[in-house]
Chain A
C-alpha cells in the first residue's frame, strides 16, 4: 500500500514542492512508502522526483494529486487504477488575472477541482479554509492537514552570514515574502512603506521572491517601487538568504487578499519577527491568534502600528512569545496525527503489531551493500554482525544489487538468494549515482543551510535509491521482529528507519561529515529504538549535532585475529626491511595525499626509511618513491601483513570505528594515525599504542617514536585489543533486540 504523490511543477523553494516533501516525511513516519512524481521538475531534483509518466500503481495504492492550478494531472488521476485523493492548496482568485495568460489555467483548475470530487477516496485541505472549499466543490471525505515549518531551520545560525552582514541595519525594516503576483497586493505593501517613510525617513522595505513581470499590474508596481526610497528587491533567494532577510527585519507584513495557508507567516514566526497581516482567506486560521491581523487597509494607522510592533520591546516580546506558542501547536506531530486519521478514513490504516514472542527472532539487516567481494568499513561491519548473530537470530539481509560503492549500479541479480548460509533479499536501484553531479551539488550545498526539499534532493542523489526496499518494509515490515540498519548517510537506511521507527536499531557509523549538518537526518537519529555506536567519540559527535537522539550505547565490534605469519606476506609481495602498512580504499577522502606528503618527508630525513605499503582498491595515482601499491589483498594476507608491519597507518580524517586500527592492535602492531580523526585520536589516547600526526613533520616524528618504542607499544596494543571481544558485542545486540521485542 504505497502513497504516491503527483505534483504539477516541482521547483525548489516552491510551496507545493515543499508540501509534497513534508507530506512524504510524515507518510514515512506513519509507515507508508510512496514516490514523488511531477509533470515538470527543476534541474537538480531528478533523483528525488520522477516524471509523472513513470508512475506505476498497485490497486491498493493511494495516489494524491496536489492541486493549485489547472494541469493535466487531474485527468491522469481519474484514470489511475487505484485509490485516489486530492491535496488542495487553493487556487488564486480569477478576478486578479482576467485577460492574463493565467486566467484559463485558473478556470480549468476550478473545473478540475469539481470534476475530481466524485472520484476520490480522500480530500485533504491544508487549512480549514481550503477544506471548506473542497466541501463546497462536492468532496465527501475531507480532512485538514496543516502545512508546517521546521523551526530549527530558521534559527539565527541558519542565516547566510554574507547576506546578514549586507542587510544588517538599525533602520526600521519591513519584509514581505512571496512571489510578486497580482493577488498578493504588493502595491499595498508599498503604500504602507510610504507611510512608514513619513515617520522614519530611513526605513527599508525588503521584498523577497521572484517578480512575475508577465502581469501588467506587477510591471506597474515594480516601476513605481523602484522610485521609492528604501525599497530593495531581493528576488529568489537561497534558504540561508531567506533566513537572513527575515532576521534583518523589524516586522513581517502581508497584504495578500487570498491565502490558502500562508507558509511565510509561519516562517516569520520561526525567525522571531512580529507578523502584521491582512486577514484574508486562511490567514486568521494560520495565525491562530498569534501576531496581529487587520481587516481594513488603513495605511497611516498600519504604519503607526508597524512601528510600534517593531520598536516597543515589551509588545514585541509578548507577540514573539505568542508566535512561538502558535508554532508549537502547528508542529509536524500535529499534522502527522491529522494525516493518520485522513488515511485511516481512506482505508489506508496499518495493522497494529502485537508483542512478539518468536524464538529465534526474525530480524532484517538493512545495509547499502552486502556480499563476499564487498569491501568497505560499514559493509564489513554489517557482514561480521550478521555472521556472529546468525546462531541467535533468523536473519534476512535487505540490500542493493550494487558492488561498486561509487555508482551503486546493479551488478548482482535482484530478488531472494542464500549467500554463505545467509538469506539475502536484493533490490534494484533504478538510478545509479552520478558522482560528478553529486560532487558538484555537495560543493554548492555543504556548509550552508537549506530547506528540506534541497536536503532530500541531495540525499536522493547520494542514493542508493531502493524503492523496492521501502515498499517491502512498508508492506511486510510487520513480519520482522526488529530491524538493524547500517550507516545513517545513505537513503537505503535514512528513509527506512522512519518507516519502522522504534522497531529499529541503528548502527549509524557516523563520522565528521558535512552531510551530518543536514536537519533531514535528525529523524534517522531520533526515531530508532536505540543507536549502537562504535566509539565514545562517535556518540559525542551525534549528541552535539542531534541532542534529541535516541538512547545510545557504545557497542563497536569484536576483533579476533586469526593465526597470521608475517614471513608469508613478505615472501608473497617480495618485501624486505621494515614497512608501514595501510589497508583500505586508496582515495583522496581517506587522507592518502597527506600520507604521501608525510612519507616523502620521512624519506628525505631518514637514512633507511621503512617502505610504505598500500593495500586496497585504488581510485587515485599513489605512485611515489618507496611506496608499494598491492591492490586488493585477501583477508589472510591483510592479517599476515599487519602482523609483520612496523606500524599500521590510519590516515583517514573521517572514521567512525577505524577497524584497521583495532585489527592492527589485535596482532600487537602499533598505529600511526591522523589526529584529524577524533576516533583514531581516541583509540590512540586510550590504548597508548601508537602515535598521532597532524602534518608531514608530525608524521616523521610519529614514525620515529614508534620505531624507538616498538616493543612497549606492541604490548599496549594487545592489552587494548583484548577489550574488543565478540561475546560482549553479540550480547549487546541481543539485549537490545530483546528489549525492542518486549515493547508493544
Chain B
C-alpha cells in the first residue's frame, strides 16, 4: 500500500499507522479489487447488433422491480397481462414488427456498405501513400544533353 500526497510523509504516516494497527493485534488484509478494462465499442457493429436484439416489439423487456409490496403486485399484474394477452399484443404490433425488421435489414445493409467503403478508402489511401513514397525515392530525371534543335 502507498500513500500519495505532497504535504505528507507517506512512508512515515503509513509506518506509524501500521504500528498502531499491529499493536491492536489486527492483521490487515486488502480488499480484492475488481479491475477490468472497459470495452471500446465499434459503433456500427454494436448498433446493428442492438437493433437486431430489440427488433421484435412483441417481446417484452425483462420484468424487474426494486420495490416491495405494491411494486410486486404491479409486477404480477404485468406478468398475467402478458401471458393472457400475448396474441393481442402480437396482433397490435404486427406492422411495427415488420417495420422494425426492415429497419434492421437496411441498417445492417448500410453498415456493411460503410465498413466495405471504409476499407476501400483505407486501401486507396495506402496505395496513394506508397506511390508518393516511391516517387520521392526514385532519382530525378536527368537534364537533356543532346544538341538543341534549331
B5:A301 contact, CB within 8 angstroms: no
- CB of B116 closer than 8 Å to a CB of A: no
Interface of B is mostly: loop
Given A136-B40, A300-B26, A305-B17: A319 and B8 interface contact (C-beta under 8 Å): yes
Task: List the A residue with the shortest CB-CB distance to B31.
Answer: A297
Q: Tell me whether A111 and B38 are in contact in the complex, defined as CB-CB below 8 angstroms, given that A191-B31, A279-B4, A301-B18 are known contacts.
A: no
Complex Cα spacing A107 to B21, Å: 43
- In the bound complex, residues from chain B placing their C-beta under 8 Å from that of A300 are 21, 24, 26, 28
Q: Is the CB of A298 within 8 A of B28?
A: yes
A188 and B31 contact, Cβ closer than 8 Å, known pairs A290-B5, A321-B7: yes
Given A296-B30, A298-B1, A304-B17, answer yes or no on A290-B46 (Cβ-Cβ < 8 Å): no
B6 touches A294 (CB 8 A): no
Q: Which residues of B contact A91 (CB under 8 A)?
A: 38
List B contacts of A291 (CB < 8 A). Answer: 5
Q: Residue on B with the closest CB to A183?
A: B34
Taking the complex as formed, is A169 at the interface, i.e. its CB lies under 8 A from any CB of chain B? no
* 0/1 string, A105-127, CB within 8 A of B gives 1: 00110111011000000000000
Across the interface, do B28 and A301 meet the contact criterion of CB distance under 8 Å? yes
Render B105-139 as a binary contact track against A, CB cut-off 8 A, 1 for contact. Answer: 00000000000000000000000000000000000
What does the 1/0 interface line of B1-25 toward A look like (CB < 8 Å)?
Answer: 1111111101001101110110010
Contact A214 B5 (CB under 8 A): no
Question: Beta-carbon contacts of A210-226 to B below 8 Å, as 1s and 0s?
Answer: 00011110010000000
- Chain B residues whose C-beta falls within 8 Å of the C-beta of A114 in the assembled complex: 40-43
Q: Separation in Å of the A266 CB from the closest CB of chain B? A: 16
Q: In this complex, what residue of A is CB-closest to B6? A: A289
Residues of chain B lying within 8 A (CB to CB) of residue A319: 5, 7-8
| Bound Cα distance from A321 to B6, whole angstroms | 11
Measured between beta carbons, the chain B residues less than 8 angstroms from A137 are 40
Interface string of A384-406 (1 = CB under 8 A from B): 00000000000000000000000
Q: Which residues of B have CB within 8 Å of A216?
A: 66
- Chain A residues with CB under 8 Å of B36's CB are 93, 95
Find B17's partner among A108, A110, A301 (CB 8 Å cutoff). A301
CA distance A643 to B40 in the complex (A): 81
Decide: A107 and B17 in contact? CB cutoff 8 A: no
Do the beta carbons of B30 and A297 come within 8 Å of each other?
Answer: yes
Interface size grouping (class) on chain B = 35 or more
- The answer to the question of B33 belonging to the interface, with a C-beta cut-off of 8 Å to chain A, is yes
Question: Chain A binding site: helix, strand, loop or mixed by DSSP?
Answer: helix
A292, B41: Cβ atoms under 8 Å? no
Q: Is the CB of B103 closer than 8 A to any CB of chain A?
A: no
- Indicate if the CB atoms of B34 and A95 lie closer than 8 Å: yes
Given A93-B36, A295-B2, A301-B28, verify A214-B66 contact (CB < 8 Å): yes
User: Number of A residues contacting the other chain (C-beta, 8 Å)?
Assistant: 48
| CB 8 Å contact bits of A431-459 with B (1 = contact, 0 = none) | 00000000000000000000000000000
Query: What residues of chain A lie closer than 8 Å to B64, measured between beta carbons?
Result: 101
Contacts between chains A and B (CB distance < 8 A), count:
119
In the complex the two chains form, is A108's CB within 8 Å of B4's CB? Answer: no
CB distance from B31 to the nearest CB of A (A): 4
Residues of B within 8 A of A101 (CB): 64
Question: Is the beta-carbon distance between A294 and B38 smaller than 8 angstroms?
Answer: no
Q: Is A315 an interface residue (CB 8 A)?
A: yes
Cβ–Cβ contact B1 & A296, under 8 A? yes
Q: Which residue of A lies closest to B13 (CB)?
A: A305
CB distance from B32 to the nearest CB of A (A): 9
B47 adjacent to chain A (CB < 8 Å): yes
Q: Does A322 contact B (CB under 8 A)?
A: yes
CB distance from B52 to the nearest CB of A (A): 14
A112 touches B8 (CB 8 A): no
Interface residues of A in 280-327 (CB under 8 A from B): 284, 287, 289-301, 304-305, 308, 315, 318-319, 321-322
Q: How far is the CA of A297 from the CA of B30 in the complex (A)?
A: 5
Pairwise interchain contact B21-A301, C-beta atoms closer than 8 A: yes
Interface string of A76-102 (1 = CB under 8 A from B): 000000000000000101110000010
Q: Which of A185-229 contact B (CB under 8 A)?
A: 188, 191, 198, 213-216, 219
Give the distance to chain B from A358, nearest Cβ to Cβ, in Å. Answer: 52
Nearest B residue to A115 via CB reads B43
A284 to B5, CA, bound (A): 9
A292 touches B3 (CB 8 A): yes
Chain A: which residue is nearest B118 at the CB level? A118
Chain A nearest Cβ from B20, distance in angstroms:
5
Q: Is the CB of B43 within 8 A of A292?
A: no
Q: Which residue of B lies closest to A133 (CB)?
A: B38
Query: Judging by beta carbons under 8 Å apart, are A292 and B66 in contact?
Result: no
B8 touches A318 (CB 8 A): yes
Alpha-carbon gap, A213 to B66, bound state (A): 7
* Given A257-B34, A308-B13, A112-B6 contact (CB < 8 Å): no
User: Once the chains are docked, how many angstroms separate the CA of A94 from the CA of B34?
Assistant: 12
Cβ–Cβ contact A93 & B38, under 8 A = yes
Q: In the complex, A287 Cα to B3 Cα: how many Å?
A: 13
> Across the interface, do B7 and A304 meet the contact criterion of CB distance under 8 Å?
no
Q: Is the CB of A219 within 8 A of B66?
A: yes
Which chain B residue shows the least CB distance to A191?
A: B31
Q: Is the CB of B4 within 8 A of A293?
A: yes
B39 at the interface (CB under 8 A from A): yes
B34 x A293 contact (CB < 8 A):
no
Chain A's nearest CB lies how many Å from the CB of B74? 15
Find the B residue at minimum CB distance from A306. Answer: B17
Q: Is the CB of B31 within 8 A of A299?
A: yes
Chain A residue numbers with a CB within 8 Å of B30 are 296-298
The answer on a CB contact under 8 Å between A298 and B29 is yes
Note all chain B residues with C-beta closer than 8 A to A94: 38-39
Give every chain B residue within 8 A of A95 (Cβ-Cβ). 34, 36, 38
Least Cβ distance of B23 to chain A in Å?
10
B20: A residues at CB distance < 8 A:
304
A115 and B111 CA atoms in complex are apart in Å by 12
B38, A110: Cβ atoms under 8 Å?
yes
Is B59 in contact with chain A by the CB < 8 A criterion?
no
Cβ-defined contact, B41 with A110, below 8 A:
yes
Bound form: Cα–Cα A233–B109 in Å: 52
**B7 A301 Cβ-Cβ under 8 A:** no
Q: B5 near A289 (CB under 8 angstroms)?
A: yes
- Measured between C-beta atoms, what is the minimum distance from B38 to chain A in Å? 6
CB of B92 closer than 8 Å to a CB of A? no
Which of A111, A214, A308, A322 has a CB less than 8 Å from the CB of B43? A111
Minimum distance in angstroms from A620 CB to a CB of chain B: 49
Q: Given known contacts A216-B66, A301-B17, A308-B13, is B7 in contact with A322 (CB within 8 Å)?
A: yes
CB of B33 within 8 A of CB of A257, answer: yes
Is B93 an interface position by the 8 A CB rule?
no
Q: Is B75 an interface residue (CB 8 A)?
A: no
> Which residues in A have their C-beta under 8 angstroms from that of B43?
111-112, 114-115
- Chain A interface residues (CB < 8 Å from chain B): 91, 93-95, 101, 104, 107-108, 110-112, 114-115, 136-137, 188, 191, 198, 213-216, 219, 257, 279, 284, 287, 289-301, 304-305, 308, 315, 318-319, 321-322
Known: A191-B31, A287-B4, A294-B3. 13 other contacts (CB 8 A): A104-B50, A110-B39, A110-B41, A111-B42, A112-B43, A115-B43, A136-B40, A137-B40, A295-B2, A300-B24, A308-B13, A315-B8, A318-B8
**What would 11 A/B residue contacts be, using CB atoms closer than 8 Å?**
A91-B38, A114-B41, A137-B40, A198-B24, A213-B66, A292-B3, A294-B1, A298-B1, A300-B24, A300-B28, A304-B21
8 pairs of A and B residues whose beta carbons are closest in the complex:
A115-B43, A289-B6, A322-B7, A304-B17, A111-B46, A296-B1, A293-B4, A111-B41
